[in-house]
Structure formats: structure tokens, C-alpha cells
Structure 1
Amino acid sequence: MLSHSHIISTGGYLPQQIITNAQLAEKMATTDEWITTRVGIKERRFAAPGEMASDLGAAACKDALHNANMKASEVDLIVVATTTADHTFPSTATIIQSKIGAHKAFAFDVQAVCSGFLYALSVADSMIKSGQVKTALVVGTETMSRIVDPEDRSTAVIFADGAGAILLKASTDANERSILSTHLFSDGTLKDLLYAKGGPGHGEFGYMYMAGKEIFKLAVEKLGTAINEALKHNNLSKEDIDWFIPHQANYRIINALAEHFALPSEKVVVTIDTHGNTSAASIPLALDVAVKDGRVKKGDLIVFEAMGGGLTWGSALVRW
């Protein structure tokens, strides 16, 4: 019988260090009011010195495994979405594999910036449906605070650190916590709107650049289309959506999309106010929060969406 990806559990991890808007205002020309009004963030977490993306990701994986009462030795696959890898190589996924003791799993990274979790989810879902693996950890983990210019308020007040993970298992029951579909897109002609300067090919590394106004316009347009495609693919309508769990990029983007689909605030999971924009980690972190506080219940239809550098973007539908 055809396998489906069953979501067994979620996990999350946030660094201990909390950075408030007031603290940032002491270092750059900004205010708590400006940050809150523009992006909806009140505080965010920064990794401690020496705390790497693999450390955050491993903690999130251990949380997901604990919540599922499973051992790391039972995992077949680890797919990690990250922009802020520990090293150029090896992959952060193999480091996480070692740290959690998942000796049976094969592991690799996916790089699609803020859309990375959706890309990683799609890869793991496809491998489960093909029968290649039975269990998979899908992880988003980032230390974005290390690639922003601390004096650039257009990025430094937005991006933050954290990790989220979900544990998938093959199931023949399509109605039980299944990934219904994933929809991925990219347009490399728009790469100059959001990128990090430098890289190994340049022999130097630099800070992130983001054309915020242009990204905002494209996000609302393209993410709306991606969500519609997911609904159409599954013969569903916006009225069927129980929970909207978006990439936590900017509260105004989240609100614009919610209004476009006539979703009341009670159906939107927002964590950007306390998490900031954790790039590939933001969706699994937000899902983990909503699962643990009991908002998400069996049978609920959840829509994910994200846009990141590349440009990349996408959506996914999940039946909880």
C-alpha cells in the first residue's frame, strides 16, 4: 500500500539569551515602537558564543524524539534546513546525527534560506512515500544573528536564532497527521533582493542584505498563489483551513495573507513577537508551540508557507 508521512511529534529549542528591542535601541538608531510597528517583534533569542546550529538542532531533535517516546537509533533519515551551517562541510545534519546518536540514519542539509523547512519537508515526505525510509527527522536550525550587520536595523532587529524539528513516520492511513502535499517555487532572477554577501567562492564572508519593501510585495503575491495552489491540489477551499502557521518573517506579511484568505486572528499562529525571524526554524518552532499549548487538534487542516532568499517560496498542507 502507498505510504504517507505521518507526523509523530514536534520539538523545539530556543537559546537562553533574550535580546529585547530596548537592548538593540542602545546600539543602533531604532526604538521599541519602530521595531514593533514595522515587524511585530518585541524580543528574540541569540545563541551563546560557541553555541552552533547543530547544538540547537540536536536539542530540537531530542525534544521531538522524547515527545514521541522514540530512540534516535530508530531514525532512518535526517534532513536539516539551515543557512548558517556549522562548517562549509561536513553538513550540519551529519553533526546532528552524531550528537543525538542516530547511527542508522543517513543525513544531509538543504539550503533554501527561510523556505528551507518546506524544502526539507518535501524531500523527507517524498522519500517516505517512495518507500526508501520509514522514519525521518526534518529540522530547521539557524544562528541568523551571526550573519546580520549589527548596525543595520533593516536586518539586525528582525533575525534571530532557534531550532524546530518534526518526526515523520511512514503510515498507510492517509487521514492521520499526514502531509497532504508540498508546493515549491524559486526564481533566481530575484536573488539580489535578499542575499548574504561573499561566501567560499568569493574567499570572504559578509553580512546579509534585504530589500524589505520589494520582498514584502512579492511575499504577499507569491505566497498567496502558493497557498491557493495547495488548496486547489487537494480540492479544498480557504474555508477548510483550521490553522495558518506561516513563516514568521514579518507580522505585516502574516496579517496581509490572513486577511487575503479571510482568516481570523484566532486561526493564525504568531510567534514572531517573541521568537523573531528564525529563518528555516520558524515554521517548526511555531508548530511546536501550537501543538504543545493544545491549539492544534486531531483532524485540523494546517497550511504552511514561507519565502526566502533565492528567491525561494512554497506552501504545504497538513492534516493533523
Structure 2
Amino acid sequence: MFINAIASYLPEQIITNAYFEELNGLTDDWITERTGIRQRRKASASENTHTMAIEAVNKVRESLPYDISEVDLIVGATYTPHDCIFTLAHAIQHHINVSEIPVVTISSACSSLLNAIEIVQGYFALGKATKALVVASEHNTAYNNEDDTKAGHLWGDGAVVVSISKERISDENWEIKDLLTGGAGNVGKAFESVTLKPLHRGIVMPYGKDVFINACTYMPKASLKVLERNNLSISDVAYIAPHQANLRISKNVANTLGVSEDIMLSNIQYLGNTGCAGCAIALDENKAKFNKGENIIVTVFGGGYSYGAMLITI
């Protein structure tokens, strides 16, 4: 599989840590020390999961090496849906007006992006599609409980779209060399560590330590496994795009893998936790500095628990 283009969208409104200090007494130093987050983006009253994704699609059209009417598969990824019936992927189909193609939306917490790409891999393998859009969009602030002093300050909003083809379309394409995902719902406090129950208190994280421990375990483990399957070592990796949940997690993963923190792509400091869109937004933000032939690892971990890693060669 090959990545043809990538583009992201971020809302304009910026919420700094000063907002939470005024709201519930959490200081900038306290939040930054524990999470690395200094600010995050918040969708406006006129924005939602669908509208942000549509803006990202509008941006990616500018760099697509083919007409968007050739898309024959759309896979959405989100755990913060605007509508559970007319799903994210269907909203994109409506926007680009492509008829009678497979359209599906997946939710597996913050690993949803890689699960969505794995769905594309399956459709390609079965000969049911050749050009796909994977759209990840999270409207965390629609569900967030800002009064929750454990997790209410973590969340940001944003969207990203990745165009993927079965065959190489141009020399500028990135190759997805390998991809693995897994579930760890039977581990630790997976069933209660992070929850989003719309009729209750929104997103809450009563067992953040358990999330931290398992993220720091599964992200490097999945990364090393996908490298081993391709006869590569961590020294062959130019950059790592980890799930943007906590800067301390990224640093811990770097330490476990024995790599410099400089190769860890990070945006959580100024975007907050943008859910399953975060690591792909980081790829979009940094794409200009990638060099031909470089290997990049994308590694994710989500509440519930879910995890994965993907190997890309530029």
C-alpha cells in the first residue's frame, strides 16, 4: 500500500493552561509537568467531527495525484462521533459525492487510525478497492468534562485525512511496508481506565497510571515487532510518530527503544490529545523534512485497550 497524500485541519480557537487554572486551579506548571501540554485546539460552535474532516479532505484534494472521484473506499476513524447513524465516513462520501462504494467507520479508541488503515489493507487484498481515503477526526471537547481535574485538561480537537492506494501512483508516494494491530482488553484496568459514556460524565480517566504503564509497554513492543518482521532494527528508523497522549509517554517509549527523543514527532504540547488523529497530524506537520528512503514508525495505544504499529518508508 502507498500513501499518496496527507492533510490535516485544526480549529482556530486555542485554549491555554491559564483557562484551567481559572476554572479549577490547575496551574500551567502542574499540567505541563504531568502531560507536556501547554495549549490545545477547540472546535467552534459551528464545527463538529464531520466538518473538521471535510476541511481536511478539501486540503488533501490539492495534492492528490488523481481525481477524487476515483476514490472507491472510505474508512472513518473516531471515538467522538457527531452522528452514530450518518457516520464520519458517510459524511465524507456525501461531501465528495462518489456513489456505490464501500463506506465504513471504525472506533477502537486512540488506535482507530491504524485499525482503519488495516481495514483498507483487507479491502485491497480482497480486490474490492484500489484507492481509499482514511479520515480520522476527533471532537473531544464535545464530550469532555472540563471540571474533571484528572483528565479534563488533556483534550483537543482536530482531523486528518490519508489517501492510500493499492499500487504506487507516483515516485512521491510513501510505502506502507507493514502494519499490525492488537487488543489488550483483558489487561489491567482496560475496561474502566478511560471511558466515554455520553449519557454520563463524558471522557473520564480514573486510572491514568494504568493507561500510562500499558501504553509504555505496548507501543515499543509493537514497534519492535513490526521492525523484526521486516528484518530491521530500531537504528534503521529515522522518526517515530507516537500517539499524542502524554509527552511523558513519548519520552518513556524513546527510552525503552533506546533512541533520542529528537526523533519522536510531537504536537501534544500545543494541540493536546487529539485522539486517533494526533500521530497522523504529526506526520502531516513534519512531512517536509522527511527524506527519500527513510523509515518511519507510527505507534499507537488507546483506552480499552488497543495498540498498533505501522512501518512507512518514504
Question: How does the TM-score come out when normalised to structure 2?
Answer: 0.93
User: Which of 9, 22, 27 is 1:31 aligned to?
Assistant: 27
**CA positional deviation for 1:90:** 2.1
**CA positional deviation for 1:104:** 5.4
Q: Which residue number corresponds to residue 206 of structure 1?
A: 201
Q: Which residue number corresponds to residue 193 of structure 2?
A: 193
Q: Which residue number corresponds to residue 252 of structure 1?
A: 248
User: Which of 223, 229, 234 is 1:238 aligned to?
Assistant: 234
User: Which of 44, 49, 52 is 1:53 aligned to?
Assistant: 49
**CA positional deviation for 1:25:** 1.4
Question: How does the TM-score come out when normalised to structure 1?
Answer: 0.92
**In the alignment, does 2:302 pair up with 1:308?**
yes
Counterpart secondary structure, 1:150:
coil
User: Which of 270, 273, 278 is 1:274 aligned to?
Assistant: 270
Which runs of 5 or more residues in structure 1 are unaligned?
A: none
Counterpart secondary structure, 1:11:
strand
Cα RMSD, aligned residues only: 1.8
User: Which of 10, 19, 38 is 1:14 aligned to?
Assistant: 10
User: Which of 80, 83, 98 is 1:84 aligned to?
Assistant: 80
Counterpart secondary structure, 1:86:
coil
Aligned residues of 1:83 and 1:111 also touching (Cα < 8 A): yes
Which stretch has the larger CA shift, 61-70 or 224-233?
Answer: 61-70
Q: Structure 1, residues 103-146: CA drift from partner, whole Å, max 9, x if none? A: 45431100011110010011112322332211101111000112
Alignment length (residue pairs): 309
Q: Structure 1, residues 203-254: CA drift from partner, whole Å, max 9, x if none? A: x343122111111111111112111111111111001011101110100000
Distance 2:257 2:55 in 1: 35
**CA positional deviation for 1:69:** 4.8
Distance 1:47 1:172 in 2: 35
Q: Which residue number corresponds to residue 158 of structure 1?
A: 154
Aligned residues of 1:155 and 1:209 also touching (Cα < 8 A): yes
User: Which of 177, 181, 184 is 1:180 aligned to?
Assistant: 177
Aligned letter for 1:179?
Answer: I
Distance 1:102 1:41 in 2: 39
Aligned residues of 1:73 and 1:104 also touching (Cα < 8 A): no
**In the alignment, does 2:67 pair up with 1:71?**
yes
Structure 1 residues 172 and 295, CA gap change in structure 2 (3 angstroms): closer
Which runs of 5 or more residues in structure 2 are unaligned?
A: none
Distance 2:150 2:177 in 1: 36
